[in-house]
Chain A
Amino acid sequence: MAESKARVPAIEGWFRMDGSAPCLLGVRCRACGTVYFPRESFCRNPGCGHGELEETQLSRRGRLWSWTDNRYAPPPPFVAKQPFEPYTIAAVELGAEKMVVLGQVASGVDASAFRVGQEMELVLDALFEDDTNEYVIWKWRPVAA
Chain B
Amino acid sequence: MKLFAGLATGLIFGAGLAASGMTDTAKVIGFLDVFGDWDSDLLFVMGSAVLTAAVGFQYILRKEKPLFALKFSLPSKTEIDKKLISGAVLFGTGWGLYGYCPGPAIAALGYLSPVTAVFVISMIAGMAMAGRIR
Q: Do A and B bind each other?
A: no
